[in-house]
């Protein structure tokens, strides 16, 4: 029961972070943030004679907008990498199809897949060592 609750909470959190990533990386959100920063600059920059505060406000506004640009760039890059990996996996007949569309899996499911691959690699290495020892 506790494991099931944890899984449900983790799935909801994954959905929330996925939504936040999509929203923060969208063009509309960037344009809204740009309008907000321009409005803030127009109202605050010319009302103060303190140049240090004005420079700080400009830097803060640019940094705020950079968050949205970096997130959009990351979303695009991540989608391209996932597409390329899915293509490579689906084109290889020996590949394990359980790793297709891993972006839809929860963190615990991904961790389980990693453990499976590590176990397989250890087993292959042990088999190679046994084969070499039999040859000698």
Could you report the average pLDDT of every consecutive run of 10 residues in the chain (136 residues)? 75 84 87 90 74 81 89 84 78 71 72 79 81 78
What pLDDT is attached to residue 35? Answer: 92
What pLDDT is attached to residue 87? Answer: 78
Which string of DSSP letters, residue by residue, matches the chain?
A: -HHHHHHHHHHHHHHHHHHHHHHHTSHHHHHHHHHHHHHHHHHHHTT---HHHHHHHHHHHHHHHHHHHHHHHHHHHHHHHHHHHHHHHHH-TTS-GGGTTGGGS-HHHHHHHHHHHHHHHHHHHHHHHHHHHHH-
What pLDDT is attached to residue 17? Answer: 83
């Amino acid at each position: 029961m506790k494991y099931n609750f944890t899984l449900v909470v983790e799935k909801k959190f994954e959905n929330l972070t996925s939504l936040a990533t999509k929203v923060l990386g969208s063009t509309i959100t960037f344009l809204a943030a740009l309008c907000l920063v321009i409005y803030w600059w127009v109202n605050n920059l010319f009302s103060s004679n303190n140049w240090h505060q004005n420079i700080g406000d400009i830097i803060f506004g640019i940094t705020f907008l950079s968050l949205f640009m970096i997130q959009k760039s990351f979303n695009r890059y991540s989608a391209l990498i996932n597409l390329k990996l899915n293509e490579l996996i689906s084109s290889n007949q020996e590949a394990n199809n359980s790793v297709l569309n891993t972006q839809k899996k929860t963190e615990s499911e991904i961790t389980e897949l990693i453990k499976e691959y590590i176990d397989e690699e250890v087993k292959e290495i042990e088999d190679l060592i046994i084969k070499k020892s039999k040859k000698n």
